[in-house]
Amino acid sequence: MGNHPLTLYARSNKFKPESVVVITGATSGMGRELAVRYAERGCKIVITSRSLPELKRIAESLNMKYEKSQVVPYAVDVTLEIECRRLMEYTVSLFGRIDILILNASATMPRGLFENIQDLDAMQKLMDINLYGQIYPTKYALPYLKETHGQLVISSTLAGEIGLLERSGYCASKFAATGFFESLRMEVGKQIDITILCPPSVVVEGNVDSEIIIHQRDNHTLISNRVRSHQSPRVKKTASWMGPRDQGSSHVLWIWL
């Protein structure tokens, strides 16, 4: 989803100014960057995460900078089905439709051998966030996306395509999500565009990137935020885009941020 002229031309039949966009996991990483880019284009955006104060800060900043856009904060725990249903109902009550749903909320856990995991609740938490945290929003946005012939964007990872050493739980959750959306793509056909992004990693320029991390301490599963600072130069993000099976193998999608 970039500002490169060729990208905009290729998507001109789908993207329009004032499109209504819902973004989960919008307080950091790709979610926050996509919120910025859609705000630049004058979209109506509902940004979500668990942290309402941070959402309000981001929304206030974007609304001041991009007057043609309207950014609304809405706190959601994507592991709770009822909250995801209310999110979609709130968005439609506010803007009348949903054109694009971006699923960016995600969690990870420290590297380690599966046999050394003492409490499997950590893997259950991963599934709750990385799988059901994408299924629930999709379930309740689907009727509205069909009405607008909209787009569903899943922010996944290369770990959802290739098994990685000491990442069994994380890979399992990402593989499951990829399988679900590839199946859903065949079900909805041309009614909705489904795009799965699978970058090996994401670097945010000169900013602080926070992600949910699930870890264990004294046999208890905990959820916290890991924060890391990046001072790398601006880069073009790349992602593998899994196209429909009848179109052949995977393609490469360049995201110009």
For residues 190 and 170, give the distance between their C-alpha atoms in angstroms, rounded to a whole number: 31
Q: Are 104 and 29 in contact (CB under 8 A)?
A: yes
The single residue listed with the structure tokens 């004058």 is 42
Sign of CA dihedral 214, 101, 145, 247: negative
Q: 132 catalytic, yes or no?
A: no
Number of C-alpha atoms within 13 angstroms, CB side, residue 141?
Answer: 31
Residue in 241, 3, 235, 202 with CA at minimum distance from that of residue 104: 202
Choice among 74, 132, 140, 170 that is catalytic: 170
- Tell me the catalytic residues: 170
